[in-house]
Amino acid sequence: MPTAPLPQADIRDIKDIIPLAPAVDLLTLALGLVVLFLLGVGLFYLLRRFRRPRLEKVRLPHELALAELAKLAAWQLLEQGKDKEFHSHLSQIIRLYVERQFSLPASDRTFDEIKGAIASLSSLSPELAGDLLTILSESDLVKFADYQLSKLRSGELLALTKAFVERTTPKPLVVSKR
C-alpha cells in the first residue's frame, strides 16, 4: 500500500537534553550519611550504658569500719562536747563491723547478749574479745548512764576500736605459682 507523503510542517528537530538539577548533591548526601552514622553510634552507646548495670566495688567489712572511724575522728565531736553522740557512733561502727566480719548480730543486742555470743566465737582470742567488750561497755556507759569519760579516754577508745578492726582483718591469701 502506497503511503502518502507527510507535510513538512509537522516534522520538527529533536531538542537537546535538558539537564535536571540534582535533588541532593553528593556533598550533602555524604554529610548526611556521616551525621546519621554518628547519631547511630551515639544512640548505641547511650542505650548500652543504661542497659548494663554498673557494678560497684564491694567493700570489705574492715574497709567500711576504718572509713567510718576516720569520718568519726574528722567530725571532732569530742572537741564540741558531744560525747554521747561520739560514743553512739563509735558503738554503732563496732557493732556493724562485728556483724559483717563475724556474722554475729550485734546491732540489736544488749551488751550482755553480745558478751554471751562472743564466747562462742573461736576466731576471737580472749584478748581481742576483752578489747571488744571494753569498747562496748564504756560506750554504753556514756550513751545510757550519762557517764563522763575524759577526752583522752574517749580518744583511746577510738584508737582501740581501730586497732581491733586492724587486728581482726583477715590476712590476704598468698598463692605461689609453681
Write the pLDDT tens digit of every residue in 40-66.
999 988 888 877 676 788 899 999 999
122 in a domain, yes or no?
Answer: yes
pLDDT value for 57: 84
126 in a domain, yes or no?
Answer: yes
Q: What proportion of the chain, given as a percentage, has pLDDT over 90?
A: 63
pLDDT value for 170: 87
11 in a domain, yes or no?
Answer: no
162 in a domain, yes or no?
Answer: yes
In which element (H, E) is residue 36 found? helix 26-51
Give Cα 43 distance to the centre of its chain.
26
| Length of the chain, in residues | 178
Tell me which residue has cell 575522728.
73
pLDDT value for 25: 76
**Domain residues for 74?**
61-167
Give Cα 137 distance to the centre of its chain.
33
124 in a domain, yes or no?
Answer: yes
pLDDT value for 178: 64
13 in a domain, yes or no?
Answer: no
Write the CB contacts of 124 (distance below 8 Å, at least 6 apart in sequence).
102, 118, 132, 168
Q: Which residues of the chain have pLDDT under 50?
A: none
100 in a domain, yes or no?
Answer: yes
**Cell reading at 117:** 555470743
Q: Evaluate whether 53 touches 84 at the Cβ level (below 8 Å).
A: no
36 in a domain, yes or no?
Answer: no
Query: Could you give the number of structural domains in the chain?
Result: 1
